């Protein structure tokens, strides 16, 4: 851990922050970045998009699988932004 405190710090409400702000927070001791709002928003938008293109398709997988993939893309972007690409805990 880096920073002044000997406890892991969490950044809540990171949605909408510039990448440079996120990187600076991590450099100064943030060890977890919460991105739940962006993940939920991404899921909801993809579900709406898929249902809008084919409203008669009622199979959950027709919208849940594309939404899951969209969320994976968001997670990958955040992992890279936070410098955690290739790291495991």
Instruction: Write a three-state SS string for 32-75.
Output: EECCHHHHHHHHHHHHHHHHHHCCCCCCHHHHHHHHHHHHHHHH
Coil vs helix vs strand at 85: coil
Coil vs helix vs strand at 11: strand
Q: Which residue has the higher pLDDT, 22 or 15?
A: 22
Q: What pLDDT does residue 88 have?
A: 76
Give the C-alpha separation, 23 to 56, whole Å: 44
Confidence bin at 3 (pLDDT 50/70/90): low
Q: What pLDDT does residue 5 have?
A: 75
pLDDT in tens, 35-89: 999 999 999 999 999 999 999 999 999 999 999 999 999 999 999 999 998 887 6
Give the C-alpha separation, 37 to 60, whole Å: 22
């Amino acid at each position: 851990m880096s920073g002044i405190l000997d406890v892991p710090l969490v950044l809540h409400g990171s949605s909408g922050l510039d990448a440079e702000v996120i990187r600076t927070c991590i450099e100064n001791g943030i060890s977890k970045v919460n991105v739940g709002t962006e993940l939920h928003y991404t899921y909801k938008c993809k579900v709406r998009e898929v249902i809008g293109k084919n409203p008669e398709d009622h199979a959950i997988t027709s919208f849940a699988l594309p939404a899951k993939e969209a969320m994976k893309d968001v997670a990958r972007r955040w992992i890279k932004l936070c410098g955690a690409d290739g790291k495991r805990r």
